[in-house]
Structure 1
Amino acid sequence: MNVLWKYVPFVATLLYDTANASSGTVLLDDATVVGTSSGGVTQYLGIPFAQPPVGKLRLQLPQPITSYTGTINATTYGYQCMQQDLVPPTIPDDLPEAIHNFLASMGIPSIPQSEDCLTVNVIVPTGTEPGADLPVAAWIYGGAYQVGSNSALPGEVVVNRSIALGQPIVYVAMNYRVSAFGFLGGREIEEAGVGNLGLQDQREALRWIQKYITAFGGDPKKVTLWGESAGSQSVAFHMVTNGGDNEGLFRAGFMESGAVKAATSITTLQPTFDFIASEVGCTPGSAGVLDCIRDVSTDALKAAMDKTPTIFSYGGLNTPWFPGVDGVFLTEDPTRLVLEGKVADIPFVLGDCEDEGTLFALPSLNVTTDGELFQFLKENFLSKAPDSAISRVLELYPADPAAGSPFGTGDAYNFTREYKRIAAFQGDFVFEGMRRFFLKERAHKQRAWTFLFEKNKVEGLGAVHSSDLGDVYGNGSLTDLLIRFVNTLDPNAPDADVFWPTYTPESPKMLALVDGETPLRLIEDTFRAEAMDYLNYLSMTYPQ
């Protein structure tokens, strides 16, 4: 989910000077794919991996491309998928300037949007030949399942760093449908078997990698799924779908800010489906309502979804666009699938930022009393839990600002009596608690590592959700850890100053990434243990 999410606010989209770049070519079936070579890497952008999901293919499972012919111009990005408008929350003028700047910097790349958006970008070291068998990092962007683009982050930075380390990789970034185009719920969606279409798009992109990545010099047997926020959560969902059978599509997972999430049937999202139908002129409950929605204009459907809640609405991380149990991709509550052992048996890395919840607490600054906070939790996260359970949550997340997020800041940044409290709750409920649950359930059965990102702090927000992206896409410590893991299935370097051990419930060692001359240190993953255990219990017992 973003949990959720992220198109990066502080990493600019790279613009390519194709006039000064040489070309690279790859043969796919009977087609020649033309890319560009510059700065040590060759990029093939905007390659379709599925048929355009337009017309009668709107709100349908992605359909594979049977064969390529002719010439494919892969020198510029393809269209972004249709994005939901994410308007940053309005906050008081007297909050730290850094928060205002952070919110103002958010935005999506200036790439045209279209429903015809199911494309991949492939970036390789220049000179890589077919059959080079380089390991592959398959990137899934975040964005709370509402926004996101494979053009938002500079994959060439990661590839160039892999070359410098002597461990070259192939980078693949996929687009997938979001919001009403990719995650519409409701009874009609379930009956048609077309829930969680964005996850299905990702799965189709992975099948494309298996079929075609050899032509780019990649090894289809050495694919690591990698994502952040909603993309990270997506990696976990790919691990639990299909009874845990990964179909040979990937051999490892690298997850930043997101594991599984407790979920109920997508039919509980019927009010959102009916709202969308009404907004576009279709009759809710009618026999042909789904076909009617397929026939409306793109602009009409986008306008309707733009009226639905986002992560910047009052409810924060409570939106109608998270994946749910659809009977096809997710056959049960994902946490139940984990408990049943239906998880792909692969090594994985799973970590979070220290202050995952601060960004999502900004929309609820008008919550200023204990009574209002009780109601906020009941309406948005714990509607099925008894009042006594919510009261217990308030005890575990007290009003003491020193206990809240951003953590380690004492009484500072207590913008309202409840801000740091709500931030701590949302961060643990959606991110930290589920991370720890996933590790405790799986680490004794498969190799796993966990980390806590404590760098790039923003005044008032701390190590805010998405702050790790500037590191992994900016030649930081995470970049090297990722590259080594993609290559060797172990993030450690032979000569590392700090050895990062695998996680076990008995010895829950965690790698902390911090600012300063010693950027890596080991800590115990035991913080807020009682509170997180209780939140996990509530999440799984009373899923929304």
Structure 2
Amino acid sequence: MLNVDARWTRSCKAALTTSMEKGSNPVATKPLTRPTRLASKPVFFFSSLLALLIFYNFVPQCHHAVQSFFTLESWADPSPRVELKQGTFIGTHLDNENHPVPVEAFLGIAYALPPTGERRFARAVPMPESREVFPATDYSLRCPGKQLLRIPGTPWLESSEDCLTLNIFRWRGSFSYQKKLPVLVYIHRGAFNRGFAAMHDTASMLAWSEEPFIALSFNYRIGALGFLNSQLTEKEGLLNLGLHDQKLLLEWVQDNIEAFGGDPNDVTIAGLSAGAHSIGHHIMDVNEERTLFHKAVIESGAATSRAVHPANSKLHEMQFEKFVAQVGCSGKKGSEILSCLRQAPSEVVTAAQTTVFDEYNPSVRWAWQPVIDDDIVSRRPLDAWKSGKWHKVPIMTGFNHNEGTMYVPKKVQKSDEFNSFFATLLPQLGKAGLKKLAELYPDPAKAESSPYVDTRNLTDLGIGEQYKRVEAAYGHYAYVCPVRQTADFASAGQEPPVFLYHWAVNKAVIGGANHGDQIWYETMSPLVRNVSPTHDEIARRFNSYVTSFIVTGDPNTLQGRKAISRPRWGKFSEGKKTMVFGAGNDEAAGGSQVGVASEWVDDEWAREECKFWWEKSEVPED
């Protein structure tokens, strides 16, 4: 039982806290865009100070409480804490000068048991209930794959199969708001063979939003560990494990996000490249009757990007057999193969999946990709669009002007090499298809009027005469035209709104407006904002459009920080117009042209070429 002095101390602390809260932070009726300054309410401040003096002079038992109230310890911001069925998690505060509002984070929370041992090459298992307390202050290790970024002494850039974790970010203090906040779930890129949650600065994207939301990023299995596709894994029900990881994460959000202040009925899924392809597959997943998401931001990708093969295609069987041989499991049959693969050392499995990927990388016939599985991907994506049966949600989607520069061989010199590249990539083209391809993409060596004539010193740049031609054709095939296809199908018949963009900022001498460039602007990275005032404006506009869509479903509702001026972004159904970002700007590539930050225009770029690619996508390869 408390003694009198203890009760007085507790009462004094409560009174002091209440007094100061009433004077400086009125209860918000909606999420605040920034903290209210104490000095903006001087009357309340001085009345609160007077109350403290009265307590101190006339109530001796309050002396200690008043003194401790003003110590640094009493004002220290405690670590954020959240209680879930799987345990209690203690988060951290992010210290980043680029954040205009402070952000708190819960890092490295597991959403599934480690997929190791007998759980390797199997569907992930949800976390059990627990009463333990766990630190959530550091990113987990990333999933094994063909990871490109390695920095010695950076633990979270190492890899481990125990990698199925998530990270949650929120404005500091946002949990106290009276309404649940919208939720963003970000799915990382990486060709389904590399990448990890922390490669996207989701916290910075959130910090620059005009209004708060709850942001989440996560790891999922990649490479053969996530997409070991073959007749055997089809028979065992083990296809597309990486996509199933993503679905399990979305289920976790439905069960747990309210504990962080989020609204499970207002979830936006967003992603670039492989993340965007993934979103396309989840939108097409008619076998999922639950509503796991409500809006989608699909950047440089689509369900129809590249070919989505049956699990037993010749290509996948060849890749599977080579992988099994590399691991050392040849000569075994059926379930014995899986048993052998599960017992192999992790480094052997990782090396084997990388070896097979590298063999097929030059042809861009990548290993370890999503396949038709009669589950999440129950049919060819194009057939799904034509059926009219998919999850109809508002969509923001877009493509970059030079999507192919990252992937095609740079020293393509002759027209025969151009033809050979596409004949290998798409055998179903045939002679007639290759002839039409040559008409749509004129040979710069034969036609002076070809848009792919390059007058620069190609030797100094290290590129061949056919490089611009092959990167344009591949970029259209793999990214631009599938994105346009998404916009066309999803906006037909007065479906939920679709907003289409075209990223045209020339950021590099060779790369141009390269695949993934927009992410630096979306997250308000100083690396691009400091290039010039125009680049800063482009970043602010793009971030405000995207975060407004996340919060409200409309890119125009929120104006962004500092209430920047920007054109209205209309629906794609309004005349099939596109928001073009940075047209004519080449400052980052060493030029002096400012161009236009953004404008909503009739954009027919690549329309004719896309008609060809759409026609060819009608013909399945296997």
Tell me the TM-score normalised to structure 1 length: 0.86
Aligned twin of 2:169: 123
- What does residue 447 of structure 1 align with? 497
- Paired position in structure 2 for 1:521: 599
- Which of 507, 524, 528 is 2:575 aligned to? 507
Which of 345, 357, 360 matches 1:309?
357
Whichever residue aligns with residue 171 of structure 2, its letter is: P
Q: Is the 8 A contact 1:353 1:454 kept in 2?
A: yes
Aligned to 1:256: 299
Amino acid at match of 1:352: F
**CA deviation digits over 1:286-308, x for unaligned, max 9?**
12212221121111101111212
1:311/1:360 contact within 8 Å kept = no
Query: 1:238·1:246 contact (CA, 8 Å) conserved in 2?
Result: no
Which structure carries more helix by proportion? 2
The amino acid across from 2:521 in the alignment is D
Out of 453, 462, 466, the position equivalent to 2:512 is: 462
Q: How many residues align?
A: 497
Instruction: Report the Cα distance in structure 1 between the residues aligned to 2:326 and 2:279, rounded to whole angstroms.
Output: 33
Shift of residue 402, structure 1, vs aligned partner: 12
User: 1:236-385 counterparts in 2 under 5 A?
Assistant: 236-243=280-287, 245=288, 247-261=290-304, 262-268=307-313, 269-283=316-330, 286-287=333-334, 288-310=336-358, 313-315=361-363, 317-361=364-408, 364-380=409-425, 382-385=426-429
Give the Cα separation in 2 of the matches to 1:184 and 1:30: 30
TM-fit CA distance, 1:82: 0.5
Name the residue aligned to 1:37: 93
**1:397–1:403: 8 Å Cα contact kept in structure 2?**
no
SS of aligned partner of 1:319: coil
Q: Hey, what does 1:6 align to over in structure 2?
A: none
Q: 1:518 to 1:529 in 2, by over 3 A?
A: closer
Separation of aligned partners in 1, 2:181 and 2:509: 41
- Cα gap change, 1:409 to 1:484, in 2 (>3 Å): farther
Distance (whole Å) between structure 1 residues aligned to residue 147 and residue 158 of structure 2: 14
- Compared CA separation, residues 384 and 456, structure 1 to 2 (3 A): closer
Question: Which amino acid in the other structure matches residue 119 of structure 1?
Answer: T
In structure 1, list runs of 5 or more residues that go unmatched. 1-19, 88-103
2:157 aligns with 111
Once the two structures are TM-superposed, the CA of residue 437 in structure 1 deviates from its matched residue by 1.1
Q: What SS is found at the alignment partner of 1:69?
A: coil
> Is 1:430 paired with 2:494?
no
Hey, what's the Cα distance between the residues in 1 that align with 2:423 and 2:86? 57
Distance 1:85 1:174, change over 3 A: closer
Q: Which residue of 2 aligns with 1:28?
A: 84
Q: Residue 494 and residue 78 in structure 1: after superposition, are their counterparts in 2 closer, same or farther (change >3 A)?
A: closer
The 1:309/1:418 distance shift into structure 2, 3 A limit, reads farther
Structure 1 residues 60 and 242, CA, compared in 2 at 3 Å: closer, same or farther? farther
CA distance in 1, matches of 2:81, 2:506: 39
Q: Deviations over 1:450-494 (max 9, x none)?
A: 001122510111011111111011162221111100111000147
What is residue 4 of structure 1 aligned with on the other side?
Answer: none
Change (3 A) 1:25 1:273: same
Q: Residue 580 of structure 2 aligns to which amino acid in structure 1?
A: A
Amino acid at match of 2:567: V
Task: Give the aligned CA root-mean-square deviation in angstroms.
Answer: 2.6
**1:471 alignment partner in structure 2:** 521
8 Å Cα contact 2:204-2:524 kept in structure 1: yes
2: CA distance between counterparts of 1:479 and 1:213?
A: 23
2:555 to 491, 499, 521: 491
Aligned to 1:53: 115
4+ runs of 1 displaced by more than 6 Å? Answer: 401-404, 406-409
**SS of corresponding position for 2:312:** helix
* 8 A contact 1:193–1:328 mirrored in 2: no
Deviation by residue 1:338-375 (Cα, 9 ceiling, x = unmatched): 111122110000001111011112xx234322222222
Q: CA deviation at 1:416?
A: 1.4
Q: Does 1 or 2 have the higher relative contact order (CA < 8 Å, sep 6+)?
A: 1
Name which of 435, 438, 441 aligns with 1:391. 435
* Cα contact 1:413–1:460 (8 A) shared by 2: no
Report if the CA contact (8 A) 1:50-1:63 is conserved: yes
Residue equivalent to 1:138: 185
- Does the aligned pair in 1 maintain the 2:142–2:156 contact within 8 Å? no
Q: Hey, what's the Cα distance between the residues in 1 that align with 2:572 and 2:270?
A: 19
Residues 1:115 and 1:283: Cα distance change in structure 2 (over 3 Å): same
Q: 1:528 to 1:284 in 2, by over 3 A?
A: farther
**CA contact 1:257–1:465 (8 Å) conserved in 2:** yes
Q: 1:334 to 1:129 in 2, by over 3 A?
A: same
SS of structure 2 residue aligned to 1:26: strand
Q: Is the 8 A contact 1:456 1:467 kept in 2?
A: no
> Is the CA contact (8 Å cut-off) linking 1:184 and 1:195 kept in structure 2?
yes
For residues 403 and 358 of structure 1, what CA distance do their matches in structure 2 show?
22
- Whether contact under 8 Å (2:251, 2:292) holds in the other structure is yes
Within 1, Cα distance between the matches of 2:207 and 2:558? 21
Corresponding letter in the other structure for 1:247: R
Cross-structure match for 1:194: 238
Sequence identity (%): 26
How many Å separate the matches in 1 of 2:240 and 2:189?
A: 15
Letter in 1 for 2:572: Y
SS in 2 for 1:151: helix
CA deviations over 1:257-286 (Å, ceiling 9, x no partner):
101124120212011111111111112661
AA aligned to 2:308 is A
Q: Per-residue deviation at 1:528?
A: 2.3
Provide the C-alpha distance between the structure 1 equivalents of 2:378 and 2:236, rounded to a whole number of angstroms: 15
Structure 2 unpaired stretches of 5+: 1-75, 96-101, 526-538, 560-564, 586-593
- SS of 2:256 mapped into structure 1: helix
Q: Partner residue of 2:36?
A: none
Kindly state the Cα deviation for residue 73 of structure 1 after the two structures are TM-superposed: 0.9
What is the one-letter code of the residue matched to 2:503? F
- 1:5 alignment partner in structure 2: none
* 1:385 alignment partner, SS class: helix
Aligned partner of residue 325 in structure 2, secondary structure: helix
Using the alignment, how far apart are the partners of 1:439 and 1:378 within structure 2? 28
1:80-91 aligned within 5 A: 80-86=142-148
CA contact (8 A) 1:233 1:260 kept: yes
Partner of 2:257: 213
Shift of 1:311: 10
Structure 2 CA distance for aligned equivalents of residues 171 and 539 of structure 1 = 35
Q: Distance in 1 between matches of 2:490 and 2:505?
A: 27
Does structure 1 retain, via aligned residues, the 8 Å contact 2:108–2:139? yes
Q: Distance in 2 between matches of 1:484 and 1:403?
A: 46
